[in-house]
Structure 1
Amino acid sequence: MMGEQVDAERLYRHIVFAHSLQHSGRNPPEPTPGAVERVMRALEETGLGDSTLVSPQAWHSVDGVVPEIAVSDGPGGSVFGDKPVGTLWTSSFLAGGVSAWQWGEWGEWGEWAEFGGGRRLFAVEFGDVEVWTIDSPGDVGELGRRYGVGRRISWAAVAEDFDAVHLSVRGLLTAGHLGGVRGWDAESTAWLRPVGFRVGSA
């Protein structure tokens, strides 16, 4: 689990909200002097700066049955083309057992759910895996250099070498606006290959 219960969750919510503003069509204000440094320091102080992919991961599902994973490249022409298709998506548990993806499920005030209602939270355990971690803009750039096709990343090609791609909180904050991970709106992991998941109650 990442961070201390109150401070980490509050900081993470601010980061997700700030990230959403970058893609909202609005013009978010410029950060005040020293704001970036304070946020980066807070990441380390709360534990959110730890980019390690930890088992178990949080997974929202209707029935907890792991679907077939058959990755392919997303449709072109939109930010969703930067997301691989046919993957399993998980996120880390924040302190207190909260999923880092929960605001995509419940909305800010619980009034909507991005994926529809009825999904429950499960804990997904796994063993040793090969993971590409995006923790900085350089990680996105290197992913594009190795697996880029035009201006896009071939997730099918990535799947030949890695089990998963993990976008850390710092990666979301510093690289989430870049091509390749635009549309990834939370700290999350896209599982590109089945790795013998063990699903239990969260």
Structure 2
Amino acid sequence: MKSPVLIELVRQLGDSVHELDLIDDVELYEEIVFAVGHQHSTPDFHERAAPHLDDAEALVRERLGKGWFAERSVPAPQAWYSATGRIGKLVLREETNDLPIGEKPAGALWTSSFLPDGRSAWAFGEASAYPELSRSLFTLHFDVQDVRRFQIATPEDYRELVMRYPRPMANGRALVDWLAAAADLDAVRLTAAGLVFAQGVRMQTTHGMAQLRGWDAESTAWLNRPPGLRIGIREDSR
């Protein structure tokens, strides 16, 4: 089965998928975010069998293991958009509805990594998601070695997170119990590879059907305050 983001990405790239090393990291990430955006414009945005894409998938997987995409920790500093630049106490909430918020930790602190050109990986979504707000871009510095982290780069990673901290729902869905996860983890990061291969993919668990939805960018959800947090402002970016 191929992920919906991968299917759209390969369609966009066309013959360029055979020359991925000629596409720089920022341009390729832009293509990924654009592919994610197709979830709002096509009813066929779900994982499905597509054996004709096997070779293309292998090429994408190889490329996403290089350069900016190869980072396996939570890179410091992180990029954070805020109207105030102040971070209070993080209070996770057990909110669940029919929107993708069920797969996202309500009340978490959300950051993204900086792209090689200095922009936030969330920059492409900021204007469309919050058009009425004027938020500045801040840098979050923290003690990387002290972060208890979990990384989602594959559908199996998200399934493992659900299995570790299951929250079964009456409708047959299985979510992450984010409050339970916060006892062990400070940060959960969705990598760019995770965005391509894991978002939108349904995975069966013993607690129900798990599906990561709604993250929409390379990003880190902080379940606890980053250890050694220091905040700086990026005056050149909004």
TM-score, length-scaled by structure 1:
0.86
SS of the residue aligned with 2:64?
helix
Q: Deviations over 1:136-156 (max 9, x none)?
A: 111111111111111111111
Change (3 A) 1:45 1:131: closer
SS in 1 for 2:69: coil
Which of 194, 218, 233 is 1:171 aligned to?
A: 194
Query: Do structure 1's residue 141 and structure 2's residue 162 form an aligned pair?
Result: no
Instruction: Give 1:10's aligned residue.
Output: 27
Q: Map 1:15-30 onto structure 2 (within 5 A).
A: 15-22=32-39, 24-27=41-44
The match for 2:205 is none
**Counterpart in the other structure of 1:192:** 223
Answer whether contact 1:87 1:192 (CA < 8 A) is retained: yes
Cα displacement (A) at 1:68: 2.3
Write the distance in 1 (CA, Å) between the matches of 2:211 and 2:165: 10
Percent identity among equivalent residues? Answer: 39
Cα distance in 2 between the residues matched to 1:38 and 1:7: 15
Give the deviation of 1:54 after TM superposition. Answer: 1.0
Distance 2:182 2:40 in 1: 27
- Give, in whole Å, the separation in 1 of the partners of 2:211 and 2:179: 13
Paired residues of 1:69 and 1:88 also in contact (CA < 8 A): yes
> Normalising by the residue count of structure 2, what TM-score does the alignment of the two structures yield?
0.74
* Contact 2:103–2:212 (Cα < 8 Å) also in 1: yes
User: Aligned pair 1:161/2:184, yes or no?
Assistant: yes
Alignment of 1:62-73 (within 5 A): 62-73=83-94
Residue 129 of structure 1: aligned partner: 147
Which of 117, 122, 143 lines up with 2:133 in the alignment?
A: 117
Structure in which a larger fraction of residues adopt helix: 2
Contact 2:92 2:107 in 1 (8 A): yes
Letter in 2 for 1:187: E
Larger Rg: 2
Contact persistence 1:74–1:82 (CA under 8 A): no
CA–CA separation in structure 1 for the residues paired with 2:140 and 2:126: 17
Question: Structure 2 unaligned runs (5+)?
Answer: 1-20, 169-173, 202-209
- For residue 201 of structure 1, what is the aligned residue in structure 2? 233
Letter of the aligned partner of 1:121 in structure 2? L
Q: For the residues of structure 2 that align with 1:166 and 1:93, how far apart are their CA atoms?
A: 14
Once residues 144 and 186 of structure 1 are traced to their aligned partners in structure 2, the CA distance between those partners, rounded to angstroms, is 20
Q: CA RMSD in A?
A: 2.3
Q: C-alpha deviations, 1:92-137, integer Å up to 9, x for none?
A: 0010211000011124xxxxx4363210111001112101111111
Secondary structure of the structure 2 residue equivalent to 1:27: coil
1:181 aligns with 2:181: no
Would the aligned equivalents of 2:68 and 2:115 in 1 still touch at CA under 8 Å? no
The equivalent residue for 1:110 is none
Structure 1 distance, partners of 2:225, 2:199, is 25
Give the whole-Å Cα distance in 2 for the aligned partners of 1:115 and 1:192: 26
**Deviation of the 1:14 alpha carbon:** 0.9
Question: Is the CA contact 1:83–1:183 (under 8 Å) kept in the aligned structure 2?
Answer: yes
Say which is worse superposed, 166-175 or 30-39, in terms of deviation: 30-39
Alpha carbons of 1:198 and 1:35: their partners in 2 closer, same or farther (altered >3 Å)?
same
Does 1:85 find its partner at 2:106?
A: yes
